[in-house]
Structure 1
């Protein structure tokens, strides 16, 4: 039997580590898998992505595009970017095998409300055609790009060489607000249920300034590019809703030699990913110091080391000890974060569990 995608990509206790140094403290960046925002039945393993934004009437869509100022190719590009991002993001998750449908179905382009759901006959046909267990559809899509401007004072360099100087001159600040409204549905044909229906409103602002309006507009992001980028944001947001996704978290730890030589000794081991050796150094340091604040730092570091190694129970114990035994308040906060992580890990196990064979 071959190794499954989940076996290759997921170890709940495995982190990709990158060490960074700051001027006074150190930190470690951990890549971890966050659970999806909503549960999706475990029997949905092969997920089909379908673009359902083909206009019901080409003539009506052209009129609506003119009224909204959206050219057909601009909207289509934004939709393609949204679908491509969903596919890309979901493909990085170990939760599903992703398939993209080649057809584009009629639905809710420029729609303010969701169209009528696809019939279960249509869903079953698509699942049979693509050998999928579930269908995720983009069912409505609308975008907008609004430009505003105001007079400001800008700085300008005049002269050259030794005579160069900065002066203030009247200018124009332009602001482009791109927004996308995207509606998604997730169908489960096995149970005949609509697992999810969600409307995502996403926006972003770009600015540019210059002496004249024409210059400022020339520097502002292109409308088509702006709506594409916001569409990508909407796609990435929805992917996090239905699939566990990798995120980076950063943890600080203590390694200043003036506090205690063992703190910096353990930190040097941590910098080269020798966490077991760091634990030994910090445990030895803890037993040789009487200052409660320094003892709290040792406990805090020990909690971090065990989190990196995947032992969240021991990590939480050390973080709690930093606060309860030595009054180190950051230990209390860290213990709460670890408790939350432990609950998320349990939820993650449930979401990644394989379906029970019939």
Structure 2
């Protein structure tokens, strides 16, 4: 057993010695792609309960310790946050919050309602002069209160020992929002997204009432979280930066050692020149590693087609194990790059 463990340890050391890791910042396409024809956005609130479900809504608020108008105010903040962030998006010529239309939904407690009919969506877009509808489909808060005590130690008053008890109230509010984007041009729901965030407050005091009274600022905090939920949803239309890790070979010949040091000081192109020299090395293992590294340097320089060709060669001709997985990574990046180009066209 000890011999086996020693062999595993040696193996891991050898792997770490022949390979280094680098980090790249790559641009990922936005999670949501909209038609280029959509230039004007309308924002609607469907989270208001219908008359038929209003009684259930009131009961839900009572059972979950929700404050007066908490859902109404929170939903308004979510809508405002969405509208503000959409206005910052250069792809839209105009963003309109459609507050003069009474949209209601029979859905309660964080469940998506039935989508709007395309007849309604098209009519609203036509009458309001917008190309698509961004809808807050539901907004719900669920609040729970936990109460506890802890011993603070005895306290002496006028020679009498009085037990010191601290009362603590912990209140957690879960804010749930559901969003859809209606594209009437192509008659598709371009996105359906559910977001959940928890807000926790604590208060302490010498009595339970004093502890609960310490739960101040709850409503303002929930409104702020709701606004951020709206901002966050609008960002699903924006490409974002992602940090990724890549492996590259640093052992094989003296050129690999020099290239390793050049890479460590940021001279990647000079390192690439040394790797390219080794792609014709008579030793297959060395040539294979150099071929794989050529894929890495080309990805660093943004040449994905060339990087893919090198990675494929590293696997097909030299069976470099890392190259096969790298081929999949590069092919995936190329697909995402095409989506990114489409998203950046207005």
Q: Choose which of 343, 346, 356 in structure 1 pairs with 2:335.
A: 343
Number of residue equivalences:
305
Q: How many Å separate the matches in 1 of 2:222 and 2:245?
A: 34
Query: Which residue number corresponds to residue 41 of structure 2?
Result: 47
Aligned to 1:182, the other structure's residue is in SS state: strand
Alignment map for 1:168-183 (pairs within 5 Å): 178-183=173-178
Tell me the equivalent position of 1:328.
320
Residue by residue, what CA displacement relative to the aligned partner does 1:233-284 show, whole Å, maximum 9, x if unpaired? Answer: 57635753xx3532313233448688511232244335xxxx5444324323
Aligned counterpart in structure 2 of residue 279 of structure 1, from 261, 272, 297: 272
Counterparts of 1:60-99 in structure 2, within 5 Å, are: 65-87=61-83, 96-97=92-93, 99=95
When residues 219 and 66 of structure 1 are mapped into structure 2, their CA distance, relative to the original with a 3 A threshold, is closer
Q: Verify the 8 A CA contact 1:86 1:235 in the aligned structure 2.
A: yes
1:161 aligned partner: none
Corresponding position of 2:225: 229
In 2: Cα distance, 1:300 partner to 1:178 partner: 51
- Residue 134 of structure 2 corresponds to 136
* Unaligned stretches of 5+ residues in structure 2: 1-18, 151-165
Q: Take 1:295 and 1:281, find their aligned partners in 2: how far apart are those partners?
A: 12
Q: Cα offset for 1:90?
A: 5.0
Flag the 1:345–1:199 CA change in 2: closer, same or farther, 3 A. closer
Q: Which runs of 5+ in 1 are unaligned?
A: 1-23, 153-170
**Alpha-carbon contact 1:55-1:106 (below 8 Å) kept:** no
Structure 1 position 137, deviation (Å): 1.6
For residue 204 of structure 1, report the CA deviation from its aligned partner.
4.3
Structure ID, larger Rg: 2
1:1-358 equivalences under 5 Å are 25-37=20-32, 40-54=34-48, 65-87=61-83, 96-97=92-93, 99-101=95-97, 103=99, 105-108=101-104, 111-112=107-108, 114=113, 117=116, 120=119, 124=123, 129=128, 131-147=129-145, 178-190=173-185, 193=187, 195-196=189-190, 198=192, 200-204=194-198, 222=218, 225=221, 228-229=224-225, 232-233=228-229, 236=232, 240=236, 243=237, 245-254=239-248, 260-270=257-267, 276-284=269-277, 286-287=279-280, 290=283, 292=285, 295-351=287-343
- Note the aligned Cα RMSD (angstroms): 4.9
Q: CA deviation at 1:203?
A: 4.1
Aligned 8 A contact 1:297 1:322 in 2: yes
Match of 1:43, SS state, is coil
Q: CA deviation at 1:291?
A: 7.4
Counterparts in 2 of 1:190 and 1:199: CA distance versus 1, 3 Å: closer
Once the 2 structures are TM-superposed, how far is the Cα of residue 287 of structure 1 from its aligned partner? 4.9
CA contact (8 A) 2:263 2:271 kept: yes
User: Using the alignment, how far apart are the partners of 1:204 and 1:109 within structure 2?
Assistant: 24
Task: Note closer, same or farther for the CA distance 1:204–1:319 as it changes in structure 2 (3 Å cut).
Answer: farther
How far 1:339 sits from its partner (Å)?
0.9
> Normalising by structure 2, what TM-score?
0.63
CA distance, structure 2, for counterparts of residue 208 and residue 27 of structure 1: 43
SS in 1 for 2:99: strand
After superposition, the Cα gap between the structure-2 partners of 1:348 and 1:317, relative to the gap in structure 1 and judged at 3 Å, is same
